[in-house]
């Protein structure tokens, strides 16, 4: 319809029919809450990055990498200390399940997390004071007995102290450290680093380490249970499994673990110049590489496993090869040859690794392939166990301690370490200690133990991969192989420099966790993302105005922003409702209808009247032939 020529009364003269002032005008935003466009709402929901999930201690790796990236090293160090008491140790010896899980593996190469951890740990060791000492709570008066000063026991004591509980650690050896000292060679973990980390834990106060006390001989477990508020058994497996072959009792046949322990404790050890190490795992690798350093000769690793089945971590395999370790794979030791009670050689034969129904390793020898080799030392590294005869029988199952879902064998007796699962990583033991300390703390506060909440791990596919340019991993610097072979004490893997640590941290994709990149803040076309600081947790969505276009979700690099159906948010009181879609007040259009209709009626009546005048009653056209337009036009104001 056309209303041209009609007179619109002043009260109906709207700027544009029924439109509110635009949001740019005064009052416009209040009148026009565009939040009602939204059928999905962007929400910040941090997920668990895979590194964090894979780490048995639950280190917040993304968080400290982000601190390091921004040169906030002390904050990074304190972040690690929340979960792991000895980053200088794990930064050297950890088999880094975090790097194995790193999403960056699917992108280019995983982040060198261990190198950054070591950088932070060494930085922390060089601080004049322990920064967490002042933040510790007062001692609660509760006392916990800890059996074993290995990584599990030390971590438990540390985390108990962080929660205000004192502990006494009973250690059978003359120095604390457990497998850290007795199982890991000095070229991997220098003794002074280990000593410094242990001293730092002891220095927190409320932690007493009693060395040379063997529970089961010098102290009775029942006495500990009676005397203390709780007990933690944190044992490794430091007894090497024996190989039952002819000649195994000759001089020169030693257990690899025993060899490593003697060397680690600083006692004089000897290794021959031609060493055979039987086994295909990390202990075999450590023993062979130590033997090269101590004996100065050659070392061969004889394994049932094929080259691609070896259980040695990749970088150790490569470093061992560089140092001259030889690998004799798919081979088994048949018997040891000797003269005058001393080893002179061995008979080997081809073999294959197979497993029986229970998953136990069974060698499959190939008959007729036996051959002799000469050697002067044979080290056995085919697995490890623990003496558990001092424990009640019902705790023990197939050489391991059987625990309940919370890692307990009694109401207040927690267990951790390799003795619960078989040989594993240092960081597994550290995680056991942390979990036990958490459980003990809950029990001592007279609360109920509960399983941990399930976590959502961020997969690579949900990252916005386009935001992450490919960048190669910075390899950890290594000492030259010739240098390494010279001495036990030459560290193989060296530290990242400050710049390298920062550059490597910068590669972190912050999977599923907001890292304050400001992308949502920048891309929002409606200025509906607000922040007061460029940090995680400081962004919020202006819900009355966010139209739910989801550009922020689409452009979030880390995937911490998600869309959620608007109606899932069950908050009727928080709804900002527009009164009508566009009219600023009730039925602007409807109100117009009556007067406008009247105007139109008037117009039509006037038109009809004019037409009646100009057109004759028979309707055959007016005298001037213009259909009355002249009069109609004359009505224009």
Partner 1 sequence: MYHELTVWSRGIIMDKEARDVSSCVAAAARALGYHAENVSDYVDDPDRTNCMVRRYARFGDKPIEDRFVYENPHPDWVVLIEETIVKGVNFLRGTRPGEGVLVINSGRDPEYLLKFLPGHMREKLHKLVVVDAVRLAEQRGSSPWMFIRDLSELAFDRMSTEGAVERLAIGMGIAAPVIGALVAATGVLPVDEVAKVVADRDAMLRGVDDHRVLEVSPAPAVPPAPSAPSAAHA
* Interacting residues of 327 by C-beta distance below 8 A, sequence separation 6+: 300, 301, 303, 307, 310, 321
Instruction: Please answer whether residues 351 and 366 qualify as being in contact, where contact means their C-beta atoms are separated by less than 8 angstroms.
Output: yes
588 lies in the binding site for partner 1 (CB under 8 A): yes
Q: From residue 140, how far is each of 49, 82, 155, 254 by CA, in Å?
A: 34, 19, 18, 47
17 lies in the binding site for partner 1 (CB under 8 A): yes
Among 8, 455, 590, 604, binds partner 1 (CB under 8 A): 590
Report the residue number, 46 or 555, with the smaller CB distance to partner 1. Answer: 555
Q: How far apart are CA 468 and CA 474, in angstroms?
A: 16
Site mask for partner 1 (CB under 8 A), range 550-569, x = bound = x---x--------x-xxx--
Among 5, 36, 370, 478, binds partner 1 (CB under 8 A): 36
Max CA distance (Å), the chain: 147
CB 29, min distance to partner 1, A: 10
In sequence order, what are the beta bridge partners of 175?
A: none
33 lies in the binding site for partner 1 (CB under 8 A): yes
> For the residues of 498-512, what is the DSSP string, one character each?
HHHHHHHHTT---TT
549: Cα separation from own chain's centroid: 32
Among 40, 406, 460, 607, binds partner 1 (CB under 8 A): 40
586 lies in the binding site for partner 1 (CB under 8 A): yes
Instruction: Please answer whether residues 211 and 114 qualify as being in contact, where contact means their C-beta atoms are separated by less than 8 angstroms.
Output: no
CB 25, min distance to partner 1, A: 13
Q: How far apart are CA 55 and CA 64, in angstroms?
A: 14
Among 100, 580, 624, 635, binds partner 1 (CB under 8 A): 580
245 lies in the binding site for partner 1 (CB under 8 A): no
Burial string for 618-635 (b: 16+ CB within 10 Å, else e) reads eeeebeeeeebeebbeee
CB 469, min distance to partner 1, A: 24
Instruction: Please answer whether residues 400 and 297 qualify as being in contact, where contact means their C-beta atoms are separated by less than 8 angstroms.
Output: no
- Interface positions, 598-627, toward partner 1 (CB under 8 A): 600
585 lies in the binding site for partner 1 (CB under 8 A): yes
CB 330, min distance to partner 1, A: 49
Residue count at the site for partner 1 (CB under 8 A)? 46
CB 383, min distance to partner 1, A: 50
Report the residue number, 14 or 478, with the smaller CB distance to partner 1. Answer: 14
Strands 143-147 and 40-44: unpaired
Among 37, 371, 390, 467, binds partner 1 (CB under 8 A): 37
572 lies in the binding site for partner 1 (CB under 8 A): yes
Return the structure tokens found at 522. 């920048």
With 0-12 CB in 10 A as exposed, 13-18 as middle and 19+ as buried, what is 197? buried
CB 601, min distance to partner 1, A: 11
Report the residue number, 510 or 592, with the smaller CB distance to partner 1. Answer: 592
Among 279, 548, 559, 628, binds partner 1 (CB under 8 A): 548
Q: Is 47 helix (H, G, I), strand (E, B) or coil?
A: coil
577 lies in the binding site for partner 1 (CB under 8 A): yes
Site residues (vs partner 1, CB under 8 A): 1, 17-18, 20, 30-31, 33-40, 547-550, 554, 563, 565-567, 570, 572, 575, 577-593, 596-597, 600
């Amino acid at each position: 319809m056309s209303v041209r020529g009609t007179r619109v009364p002043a009260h109906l003269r709207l700027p544009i029919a029924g439109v509110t002032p635009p949001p740019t005008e005064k009052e416009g935003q209040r009148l026009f809450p565009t939040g009602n466009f939204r059928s999905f709402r962007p929400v910040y929901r941090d997920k668990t990055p895979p590194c964090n999930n894979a780490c048995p201690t639950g280190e917040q790796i993304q968080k400290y990498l982000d601190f390091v990236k921004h040169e906030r090293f002390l904050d990074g160090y304190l972040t690690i200390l929340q979960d792991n008491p000895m980053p200088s140790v794990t930064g050297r010896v950890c088999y880094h399940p975090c790097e194995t899980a790193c999403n960056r593996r699917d992108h280019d190469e995983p982040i060198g997390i261990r190198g950054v951890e070591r950088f932070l740990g060494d930085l922390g060791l060089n601080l004049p004071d322990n920064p967490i000492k002042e933040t510790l709570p007062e001692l609660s008066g509760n006392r916990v007995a800890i059996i074993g000063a290995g990584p599990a026991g030390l971590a438990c004591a540390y985390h108990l102290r962080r929660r205000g509980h004192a502990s006494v650690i009973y250690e059978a050896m003359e120095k604390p450290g457990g497998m850290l000292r007795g199982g890991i060679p000095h070229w991997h973990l220098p003794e002074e680093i280990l000593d410094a980390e242990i001293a730092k834990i002891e220095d927190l106060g409320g932690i007493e380490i009693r060395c040379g006390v063997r529970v089961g001989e010098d102290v009775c477990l029942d006495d500990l249970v009676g005397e203390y508020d709780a007990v933690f058994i944190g044992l490794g497996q430091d007894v090497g499994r024996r190989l039952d072959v002819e000649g195994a009792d000759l001089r020169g046949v030693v257990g690899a673990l025993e060899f490593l322990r003697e060397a680690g404790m600083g006692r004089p050890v000897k290794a021959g110049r031609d060493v055979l190490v039987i086994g295909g795992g990390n202990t075999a690798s450590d023993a062979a590489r130590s033997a090269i350093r101590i004996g100065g000769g050659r070392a061969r690793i004889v394994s049932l496993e094929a080259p691609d089945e070896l259980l040695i971590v990749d970088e150790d395999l490569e470093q061992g090869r560089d140092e001259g370790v030889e690998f004799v794979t798919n081979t088994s030791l048949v018997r040891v040859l000797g003269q005058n009670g001393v080893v002179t050689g061995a008979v080997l034969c081809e073999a294959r690794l197979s497993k029986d129904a229970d998953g136990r390793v069974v060698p499959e020898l190939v008959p007729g392939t036996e051959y002799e080799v000469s050697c002067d030392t044979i080290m056995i590294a085919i697995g490890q166990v623990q003496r558990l005869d001092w424990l009640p029988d019902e705790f023990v199952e197939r050489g391991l301690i059987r625990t309940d879902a919370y890692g307990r064998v009694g109401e207040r007796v927690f267990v951790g370490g390799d003795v619960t699962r078989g040989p594993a990583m240092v960081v597994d033991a550290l995680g056991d200690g942390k979990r036990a300390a958490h459980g003990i703390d809950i029990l001592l506060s007279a609360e109920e133990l509960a399983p941990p909440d399930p976590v959502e791990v961020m997969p690579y596919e949900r990252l916005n991969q386009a935001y992450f340019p490919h960048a190669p991993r910075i390899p950890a610097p290594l000492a030259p192989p010739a240098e390494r072979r010279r001495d036990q004490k030459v560290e193989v893997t060296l530290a990242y420099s400050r710049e390298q640590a920062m550059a490597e941290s910068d590669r972190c994709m912050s999977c599923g966790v907001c890292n304050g990149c400001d992308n949502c803040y920048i891309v929002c076309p409606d200025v509906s993302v607000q922040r007061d600081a460029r940090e995680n947790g400081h962004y919020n969505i202006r819900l009355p105005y966010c139209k739910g276009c989801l550009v922020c979700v689409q452009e979030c690099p880390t995937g911490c922003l998600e869309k959620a159906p608007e109606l899932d948010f069950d908050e009727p009181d928080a709804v900002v409702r527009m009164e009508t879609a566009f009219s600023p007040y009730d039925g602007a259009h409807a109100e117009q209808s009556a007067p406008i209709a009247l105007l139109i009626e008037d117009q039509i009546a006037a038109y009809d009247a004019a037409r009646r005048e100009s057109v004759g009653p028979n309707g055959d056209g007016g005298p001037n032939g213009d259909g009355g337009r002249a009069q109609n036009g004359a009505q224009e104001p």
